[in-house]
A = this chain, B = another copy of it.
Amino acid sequence: MKTYVKQDFPLAEVRRHLEPGPIVLVSSAWKGKTNIMTMGWHMVMGFTPSLIGCYIWDNNHSFEMVRKSRECVINVPTFDLLDTAIGIGNCSGAEVDKFDKFGLTAGEAEMVGAPLIKECYANFERRLADAKLIRNYSLFVWEVVKAHVAKSPKNPETVHYRGNGEFMVAGRSVSRRRLFKAPNL
């Protein structure tokens, strides 16, 4: 599988890769084991600090791993990884080593203990910014503390879940900068 050459990316601009709404892979580590889950329920909640809200169902094996370690990495896969992402979402880390099973390469993160997935277009290292909404809402509020993004392409072919096994693949890009007032960009 293809890996991407990456560079540091400004934390305040992480929204570029998450606000369009792609499915992501959440990688975690706890007590010497790693895991990966596929996730579609997330939203941007701030620029500086760079905050991302994620709904993680407490039935997922990753739930306790990210809650206890208070860290994880959000990895953005592209279309070539779609079947892998689905496979990851259809088995449990309680039973299999997902890096091994799916032939993915674990890279070392700089700021957190969780591994990066090298085959993904972007990797965002995150620390838990707020745990207060987990119990009642299953909502984790994360701060991105380090961002790695592929040098090219500029606009990746991300995949977006519709439910029922159907996906939308990212299409063309258009700019409308001229229609914005500067503070609203």
Contacts and interface: CB of A to CB of B under 8 A. Distances in A.
Q: Is the interface of A mostly helix, strand, loop or mixed?
A: mixed
A178 B172 CA distance: 27
A176 interface: yes
Contact of A19 (B17, B139, B161): B161
Each complex incorporates copies of this chain amounting to 2
Interface stretch (A25-33, A83-91, A145-153): A83-91
Interface residues of A, number: 53
A137 B15 CA distance: 17
Q: Which of A44, A166, A172 has the most CB of B within 10 A?
A: A166
A179 B167 contact: no
Contact of A176 (B15, B41, B42, B82): B82
